[in-house]
Structure 1
Amino acid sequence: MISFKAVLRKKKLSSGKYPIYLRISKDRNSIFFRTPYTAETREWNGKKGLFNQNSINYLNKNRLLLKLIDQATGIVTELHQRKGSYSLSEVEREFRISANPVHQNIFKFWEELIAEMEKAGRTGNARIYRDTSKSVKKYVNRKVLLFEDITPAFLEKYEAYLRSRKGTDGGISVQMRTIRAVFNSAIKRELIKPNVYPFKVYKVSKLKGRGLKKALSFEEVQKLITLDLTNHQRLINSRNYFVFSFYTRGMNFADMMRLQWKDVSEDRIYYIRSKTKTNFHIKILPPVQKILEYYRNKKSHASYVFPLLLKDKLTPAQIENRKKKTLKQYNKDLKEIAGLCGINKSVSSYVARHSYANSLKQKGISTDIISESMGHQNLAITQAYLKELDNSLVDEAMEVLL
């Protein structure tokens, strides 16, 4: 048998009043939840567990107390229907989840996650979470948004809002996956109930893979490598970064930026890919060796291979800021280099990785070897990856019909 009652606790507050708690009792044990109210003994009907007429606005106060009891009763009913038997600790947990006004505000919890990421040095993730939070705040134009307010319909409207602001599938996907991750974290920490999860209906996967991956052909990569930059010395570093990435199985910019001389040993490069935490040890091919020698001969007091991080012992925030600045310039340079080569494609940092996979495909290398070289977790990922790349092989095959 379980019972619910509002009670006046015996410990007097500095105001001279007593706090009012909701008491839930079962099997001679009780748990207590603080309500917003306090009362003097003359204002309280202990037998009924309600305010009496001596209290100002006693009817409104009693309505809230009865509403809390109804809420607790609903939680117990749901537990009974779901599990049959339940403990007071389960009632307490469920009640705190539904009654906690701080954690019901998704923005408050979002800020906690961002702070945790920054403390752990995950500045890239923190930036994505912060940018998405700002975007959602701008959309709703208020500082409080409850988890339960984010329904499948809300997400559809938010997606339409992002598209009206020229959002792409890729960018929208990042923001939706971030919101989904916030929900998953809140459910895992038992701050919200799973039944408010909107992503069972709204599928982020519908946004995945609509934008084609862009890649250069092997011939175009060779054009870029052999381009005479005598009159464009300021582009040499960016060309080197692209070529280095291409010949190191598509090493991404963040990993190149953090690559240190201690990671280069004899004829191999050893590093852990920051995105997937996959270990790589890569044979140093002649183009890579040439680039390493170029930077080894440069005077630098930092332990990094490339002049992207200019000193050691930078904080995660400083590294993230430096990455943002240098990556922007790198992408700008790549577009200029592509123009000088007569390549009519939008070239960016990630095109080196795509071009690596595409070139192996052009050369007839098997998908399982490409998959292993890129550090994909399974063959299906590589198959989907290659499917989005250059279709020149298919184009050539079609020519037999002419």
Structure 2
Amino acid sequence: MASVKVKFRPSSVNGKEGNIYYQVIHDRVVRQIKTDCRIFESEWNGKTSAVAVPVLASIERKNYLQSVASRIEWNVKRLTAIIALLEKGNKSYTVEDILVKFNRQADGQSLFPFMQGIIEQLKWLNRIRTSETYSATLASFMKFREGQDILLCEIDSDTMRLYEAWLKANGNCPNTTSFYMRILRAVYNRAVEKELAEQKYPFKHVYTGIDKTVKRAVPLKAVKRIKELDLTLKPHLDYARDMFLFSFYTRGMSFIDMAYLKKSDLKNGILTYRRRKTGQQLTIKWEKCMEEIVTKYAGRSVTQYLLPIITNPLADERKQYRNAIFRVNAALKEVARLVDLQIPLTMYCARHGWASIAKSKNIPLSVISEGMGHDSEETTRIYLASLDTSVVDRANSLILKDL
């Protein structure tokens, strides 16, 4: 098996710094890897082959020497990981193979730059939403690590269990914890495919499932109360209410699909658009209630879009959408309070509400599925099963009355 040694070469000129290099030996072949780490001979411990920090050194010098020691430790870990992976392979390897991988994988062997590379690739493929979820996961894990990167080969079960415990301690629910874990697992598996890490199944002992959550849908009476609210003196609540109603009117259209609706999508009384989540094309008959909202905000935007969500053609569209959904959902909490609605009202509740109300009116599952743009009726069946427990609650009340 190959070996790695850290060496110091003193300067030939008295009083000048020497430099650190790595010596890699395999099958009696010796190669050297130069570094730009330069220290004085008095700052090197030849017995331990490590940087020695003089007690009387200045704070600046101590910090520099500690950073040199950290870099050496990091690079030795990288070289050791490369050798371990080559040893696991079926093919024989040379010392040159070690050096080639070391030089090529400077950013690929550790998690932070490797994951950032995946994020940039997702953006290039226009998978913006997915790139944002990966960015959120990376930010969370970096916070857990206090900014200290980790080699892909160092990711193990203990690391993931500590991260899971950290997430729970910081108030994350099981589904959020699982969400981060599933993304990190996907990143790790990609690293294994690229032969940057050995498969150690580090996510085996952490939760990666999905808890079923009961989603209380907005009843039709509540939608009517929301519609009838007089919000003339509260324009930000008025706008949020209108966006909520537009989503409800259009069979629970998602806010991102609303944001990117173009004026050209409305022709001859038919609104046609593609769901950004699935790419499925949907058509909706244009109704008077929809027209009233669009007309109300007709002067708000000079863009190609139908609704006043992305309003500035010179600014970043994705950022405008994200800011808008944040403001609307915050305002909807106040709208819910005004109508005495005991659920956390969000734009997504319009979708929940439409599906639940359709179900209560005995509209066939196939019709609800098509209206919501689901890929299959099974998706709709699962969706509806988690929306509203009111029927079961009423049955339970009837039983308890007989006690």
Report the TM range for the smaller structure's normalisation: 0.7 to 0.9
Paired residues for 1:64-143 under 5 Å: 75=86, 78-80=88-90, 96=101, 100=105, 102-143=107-148
Are the structure 2 counterparts of residues 97 and 387 from structure 1 closer, same or farther at C-alpha, using a change threshold of 3 Å?
A: farther
**1:159 paired to 2:164:** yes
- d(CA) in 2 for partners of 1:157, 1:109: 21
Partner of 1:336: 334
| Deviation string, structure 1 residues 200-251 (Cα, Å, up to 9, x no partner) | 553411xx13443242112211221222334434422211110111122221
- d(CA) in 1 for partners of 2:150, 2:110: 5
**1:36 paired to 2:45:** no
Q: Where does the alignment leave 5 or more consecutive residues of structure 2 unmatched?
A: 5-21, 36-44, 50-74
Contact 2:214/2:387 (<8 A) preserved: yes
Are the structure 2 counterparts of residues 70 and 289 from structure 1 closer, same or farther at C-alpha, using a change threshold of 3 Å?
A: closer
Partner of 1:11: none
| Identity level (%) | 28
Partner of 2:311: 310
Paired residues for 1:45-60 under 5 Å: none
| Deviation string, structure 1 residues 314-356 (Cα, Å, up to 9, x no partner) | 4xxx223222322221112111111221212210121111112
Q: Where does the alignment leave 5 or more consecutive residues of structure 1 unmatched?
A: 7-18, 25-31, 39-55, 81-85
1:325 equivalent among 300, 323, 326: 323
- d(CA) in 2 for partners of 1:119, 1:69: 33
Are the structure 2 counterparts of residues 230 and 247 from structure 1 closer, same or farther at C-alpha, using a change threshold of 3 Å?
A: same
Partner of 1:178: 183
Q: CA offset at residue 34 of structure 1? A: 7.1
Normalising by structure 2, report the TM-score.
0.72
Letter in 1 for 2:33: P
- d(CA) in 2 for partners of 1:386, 1:373: 13
The structure with the greater share of residues assigned to helix is 1
- For 1:103, what is the secondary structure of its paired residue? coil
**1:255 paired to 2:252:** no
1:196 equivalent among 195, 200, 214: 200
**Number of aligned positions between the proteins:** 349
Normalising by structure 1, report the TM-score.
0.72
Q: CA offset at residue 71 of structure 1? A: 7.2
Paired residues for 1:241-390 under 5 Å: 241-296=243-298, 298=299, 300-312=301-313, 314=315, 318-390=316-388
Contact 2:181/2:207 (<8 A) preserved: no
Are the structure 2 counterparts of residues 74 and 130 from structure 1 closer, same or farther at C-alpha, using a change threshold of 3 Å?
A: closer
- d(CA) in 2 for partners of 1:34, 1:265: 71
- For 1:134, what is the secondary structure of its paired residue? helix
Q: CA offset at residue 313 of structure 1? A: 5.7
